Amino acid sequence: MKRNIETREYDDGSRGRFEKLNGKHDGLWQIFYPNGKIKWEKQMSKGFDHGYSRKFNQDGYLVEERYYFKDVLDGCWKIFDDMGRLKEETFFDMGYALREKVYDSEGNVIKDEAKDNLVSYNAIKDLPYIRQDFKVIRKHVKFSSDSIYEAEKVIQEFKRTAFKIRPTPLDHELSKKSNSYVGDINLGREG
């Protein structure tokens, strides 16, 4: 096992520091502003976002915080204003958004809403697809509001324009890492 730290400088003057194990991001992943303050840090494991991900503004205030379990949002996603005051919270359970809270500038809750986890796709999305039998199709397919397309061929049609998404953490790695959604699709009822 080979562990190393990689550093990188960007055209805008920011710098990156990345812990790697056997060539994959594993450990702390950080980007710094040109002034040396932290811009973004996240925990990674075997190439997956796994643990906290935090973003900061140039003044050092926390502006976003998320928690991931093997690339899947799990726990509380918080968004803060430029002074570090909490604006929004969305609570996730393995990719399911359960509840959303929105706060005013005084910290009072102005919206508290349970989520039904129905996601409507109005535009075509590129996503990898895992069938219900949990076999991975190792290619990207396109989802539209009425169908799943594989290349130009329709592989499944939907009667509804919304479906329930349940991300499926994988115990093995895909051949190509991407930021795309990995999970299974369950038809849901439109509200």
Say if residue 38 is in the same domain as residue 78: yes
Say if residue 104 is in the same domain as residue 165: no
| pLDDT over 50 (residue 15) | yes
- Helix (H) / strand (E) element for 131: namely none
Residues 28-41, mean pLDDT to the nearest whole number = 95
Give the Å distances, CA to CA, from 85 to 31, 88, 119. Answer: 22, 9, 29
Domain end: 88, 114, 140, which one? 114
Q: pLDDT value at position 185?
A: 44
Say if residue 85 is in the same domain as residue 125: no
User: What is the span of the domain harbouring residue 67?
Assistant: 3-114
Say if residue 141 is in the same domain as residue 78: no
Q: pLDDT value at position 187?
A: 42
Q: 44 with 26: CB under 8 angstroms?
A: yes
Place of tokens 């109005």: 122
Residues 86-102, mean pLDDT to the nearest whole number = 88
- Reported confidence tier of residue 40, pLDDT bands at 50, 70, 90: very high
Contacts of 98 (CB under 8 A, 6+ apart): 91, 92, 114, 115, 117
Domain end: 70, 91, 114, which one? 114
Q: pLDDT value at position 3?
A: 87
Say if residue 149 is in the same domain as residue 62: no
pLDDT digits (tens, 9 = 90+) for 102-135: 999 999 999 999 876 544 333 333 344 443 333 3
Q: Between residues 36 and 168, which one has the greater pLDDT?
A: 36
The tally of domains found in the chain comes to 2
Say if residue 127 is in the same domain as residue 34: no
Give the Å distances, CA to CA, from 13 to 16, 37, 174. Answer: 10, 12, 33
Say if residue 58 is in the same domain as residue 75: yes
pLDDT digits (tens, 9 = 90+) for 140-174: 444 444 444 444 444 444 443 344 444 445 454 44
Q: How far apart are CA 46 and CA 173, in angstroms?
A: 9
Say if residue 139 is in the same domain as residue 75: no
Residues 49-54, mean pLDDT to the nearest whole number = 93
Say if residue 85 is in the same domain as residue 138: no
Q: Between residues 150 and 14, which one has the greater pLDDT?
A: 14
Say if residue 110 is in the same domain as residue 176: no
Say if residue 103 is in the same domain as residue 128: no
Q: 165 with 117: CB under 8 angstroms?
A: yes
Domain end: 114, 134, 166, which one? 114
Q: pLDDT value at position 70?
A: 87
Say if residue 110 is in the same domain as residue 128: no
Q: pLDDT value at position 116?
A: 67
pTM, entire model: 0.60
Backbone angles phi, psi at 113, to 5 degrees: -130, 130
Q: How far apart are CA 153 and CA 143, in angstroms?
A: 12
Which CATH number characterizes residue 94's domain?
3.90.930
